[in-house]
Amino acid sequence: MKPAPDNRLAAPPHDPPWLALPREIVDVLRPMVPGIVEAIITMVPQTVPAYARPIEGRFGRGLRSGVAVALDRFLQLPGTRLPALSEESRQLVAGLGSGEFRQGRSMDALLSAYRMGARVTFREMSRISLERNLGLNAVVNLGESILAYIDELSAVSAEAYAFERSERAGAVERRRTELLELLLHGQADEAALRQAASMADWVLPARLAVVTLPLDRADGLRLKLGPGALVVERETDVVALVPAPRSKPAQTALEKALRGRAASVGPAGGWQQVPDSLRLAVLAAAVLPPREKLDDPPIWAHDHLGEIVLGTEPTAIAELAQRRLAPLQRLRPAQREKLAATLLSWLRHWGQRAPMAAELGIHAQTVGYRVAQLRELFAGELDDPRARFELELVLHAGRWQGPGTMAEDGSHPGP
């Protein structure tokens, strides 16, 4: 058995207020249309500052035509259940709304003009209705009809305005995404990039930096970075291109916007260096310890270039460590730790005992004793510039712990 229909949901819509107007009112009001059109056109520049200009040329023709069409449609409504707007008048009113956006104005001016037009129309039409003895009810219904009609005009124009704004925003966003992809892949020359930037309504800064962060940390990022940034979401991450901070306050502001987002910032450079900035930002995020706490600052890749170099090819570093640090592997762990730290300090301070002793927290004589042990272990390698360079590399990478202390995935303690 089918359920009974819900009569509340099936209730017909309310009749429009103009249904209560007598049809003969049209014959009374129609001769007044030219005068009402002129009155409205005269009042528009006086009451709406955005339209305070001579009523001539394209603007004047458009305004005159719009007012005439609107009044003509209104006079088709009395005594009917017709919708407020026909297809033709709806297109015209929608065009007014979208035109306001293209002219760079808000909807306030057009809505003010509609309200002013409604007042003028009601004033003139109610006057003649009373003069022709159409009765107070006709005047009340006329006022209600004009208000309902203007409400519909306003709604259609506002909807068209919002649609035009959304379309413009979508088009600009697509162009900005395309521009960012061009920059990230280095696929265009300067002239093409500047043209693409102009179409995307974006000024190409002299110096830029790439920011990368996980997709799940990107909430509110566009708003935080502001209109000067280009942002694109990818499958698992977000990439943003920002003007390079040119002062300490600017860097602090960018760091604040990125705090707690596990972000990595590539080195700044010209537009030609954008692919390099992206690559180094990604490498920094992969090589350095993750910064995942809510108050963690971003990684600034330019502060960690040495660590990035050491971490980009861990297999090569491991092989080099196995070869260069072989003399230490036959020592006990505690002794190996002390001599490795001494060797790194010796390399860092060019063999000067005083700064080595201060850094290691030992007596200068102990430094001499340990250095003598190192020279015995490494024989002539400590006098070979290439050997010293490679030793400092592997020691900075923290590779003196030996193969037994390395993780199974090849990672290692940091320097």
pLDDT digits (tens, 9 = 90+) for 69-84: 889 999 999 999 999 9
- Asked if the structure places residue 412 within a domain, the reply is no
Co-location of 62 and 149 in the same domain? yes
User: Residue 216 pLDDT more than 80?
Assistant: yes
User: Residue 404 pLDDT more than 80?
Assistant: no
Co-location of 319 and 298 in the same domain? no
Asked whether the beta carbons of 89 and 70 are under 8 A apart, the reply is yes
pLDDT digits (tens, 9 = 90+) for 49-66: 888 776 666 666 777 788
Co-location of 30 and 108 in the same domain? yes
- CB crowding 379-400: b at 16 or more within 10 Å, else e: eebbeeeeebebbbbbbbbbbb
Interval 118-142 mean pLDDT: 90
Q: What long-range pairs does 396-399 form, CB within 8 A, spacing at least 24? A: 396/306, 396/310, 396/344, 397/310, 397/311, 397/317, 397/321, 399/317, 399/318, 399/321, 399/325
Query: Which domain does 278 fall in, by range?
Result: 205-310
- What the block records as the tokens of 164 is 């035009």
Q: How far is 313 from 414, CA to CA, in rounded Å? A: 14
- Asked if the structure places residue 54 within a domain, the reply is yes
Greatest CA separation for the chain: 123
Q: How far is 369 from 363, CA to CA, in rounded Å? A: 10
Instruction: Tell me the CATH number at 233.
Output: 3.30.70
Co-location of 41 and 132 in the same domain? yes
Instruction: Tell me the CATH number at 140.
Output: 1.10.490
User: Residue 13 pLDDT more than 80?
Assistant: no
User: Residue 402 pLDDT more than 70?
Assistant: no
Co-location of 43 and 157 in the same domain? yes
Which pTM value belongs to this model? 0.51
3-state secondary structure of 230: strand
Q: What is the pLDDT of residue 99?
A: 83
How many C-beta atoms surround the C-beta of residue 368 within 10 A? 13
Co-location of 356 and 267 in the same domain? no
Model confidence band, residue 179 (pLDDT cutoffs 50, 70, 90)? confident
Q: How far is 390 from 316, CA to CA, in rounded Å? A: 11
Range with lowest mean pLDDT among 76-85, 140-149, 227-236: 227-236
Give residue for tokens 């009373």: 130
Number of structural domains in the chain = 3
Co-location of 333 and 306 in the same domain? no
Interval 198-213 mean pLDDT: 86
Q: What are phi and psi of 133, to 5 degrees?
A: 60, 45
